[in-house]
Amino acid sequence: MIISASRRTDIPTYYSEWFFNRLRDEYVLVRNPMNIHQIGKINLSPNVVDGIVLWTKNPMPMFKRLSELEKYNYYFQFTLNAYNKDVEPNIPSKNDVIIPAFQRLSREIGKERVVWRYDPIFFNERYTMEYHCKYFNLLASRLEGYTEKCTVSFLDLYRNTARNTQPLNLQKETPQQQIELIQRFSQIADEHGLYIDTCAEATDFKHFGVEHAHCIDKNRLERLGHYNLCVEKDLNQRLECGCIASIDIGTYNTCKNGCLYCYANYSLKTVDKNFHQHNPNSPLLFGEIGPDDIIKERKVKSCKQCQISLFDL
């Protein structure tokens, strides 16, 4: 079983104490986003958790307790973009805080456990092709030696995303612009000892040496854990998504980053309300178990083969 923590919210930044408490107690309760009164109880014992993928824009609240992850196989998906406060209002200074945090995390756990994400990419009068290429190059120069690759993607306009990004006056990129940006990013990455891949993009960029990403990555988990995994593609994700199956332990409308392009927040008012109902000692990310709630334990098991064949080395 693979745990995603989380596509729905930034657990390392805002809920790290809760997360480590859940690992200590070896279980977590997660509401079904399609039926809020249906709660899944998920075993977090190292005996059944084959890997944890942590998604964040700022892992600093986790630094003092990283050693508590050692009994698990894990890595970080670390989003570091070149946007300013008009797009990512609650992200600390990239130069003074976030880039040093990325470098420190890499030094402490190894660059193979920190995947850089530069996404989603969009264009407007401020964030032009030249802007993205200039700052991607700057970031790549600062992250050289601290990661292996960068995953990129273009913005998808979900209904709430389209509403929240209206002040930015987005300019829908053309196929030619996508091709130019990927080609230039690939060249920049190569100059800094990195490579790029694309997240859930239908366009094929293989002629630039750019493959489709697997953000929850079977191969990376196998390489880090030194075992084979018998796990299939996640059928709950988009067709172009290459991720393997996982269980997400986050909750929508709980991320305080406030990024305008975010698909996981529908209402800032709801986010604030939910955030203030958070209790780090509760098995739920926020709120309490009510009389109408039904808790069912999910049947989970390890999917790993503990020894890699000689033919896989």
Q: What is the per-residue pLDDT across 108-118, written as a single tens digit (0 to 9) for each? A: 999 999 999 99
Spatial CB neighbours of 22, under 8 Å, sequence gap ≥ 6: 28, 44, 249, 283
- Long-range contacts, stretch 208-214, CB < 8 angstroms, 24+ apart: 208/182, 208/183, 210/182, 210/186, 212/240, 212/242, 213/151, 213/242, 214/242, 214/243, 214/244
Are the beta carbons of 294 and 122 closer than 8 angstroms?
no
| Residue corresponding to tokens 């657990």 | 11
pLDDT more than 90, % of the chain: 91
pLDDT exceeds 50 at position 86: yes
| Rounded mean pLDDT, 77-106 | 98
pLDDT exceeds 90 at position 14: yes
pLDDT, tens digit, 9 for 90 and up, residues 17-60: 999 999 999 999 999 999 999 999 999 999 999 999 999 999 99
**pLDDT, position 235:** 79
Look up residue 119 and give its two tokens. 């996404």
pLDDT exceeds 50 at position 101: yes
Report the alpha-carbon distance of residue 249 to residue 264 in Å, rounded. Answer: 13
pLDDT exceeds 70 at position 93: yes
pLDDT, tens digit, 9 for 90 and up, residues 163-176: 999 999 999 999 99
**pLDDT, position 236:** 81
The rounded Cα 148 to chain-centroid distance in angstroms is: 16
Greater confidence (142 vs 266) lies with 142
Report the alpha-carbon distance of residue 262 to residue 160 in Å, rounded. Answer: 8
**pLDDT, position 313:** 41
pLDDT exceeds 70 at position 300: yes
pLDDT exceeds 60 at position 295: yes
B/e letters for 289-312, b = 16+ CB within 10 Å, e = fewer, are: eeeeeeeeeeebebbbeeeeeeee
- Which residues pair with residue 123 across a beta bridge? 171
Q: What is the pTM of this model?
A: 0.95
| Rounded mean pLDDT, 94-120 | 98
**Amino acid letter for position 15:** Y
Sign of the torsion angle spanned by Cα atoms 67, 69, 72, 77: negative
CA dihedral defined by 290, 293, 297, 303, rounded to 10 degrees? -100
| Rounded mean pLDDT, 287-307 | 89
Domain that holds residue 224: 2-312
223: helix, strand or coil: helix
pLDDT exceeds 50 at position 237: yes
**pLDDT, position 155:** 97
**pLDDT, position 294:** 98
pLDDT more than 70, % of the chain: 97
Spatial CB neighbours of 135, under 8 Å, sequence gap ≥ 6: 82
Spatial strand order in the sheet of 51-56: 211-212, 195-198, 149-154, 114-121, 74-79, 51-56, 2-5, 247-248
**pLDDT, position 262:** 95
What's the number of domains the chain is made of? 1
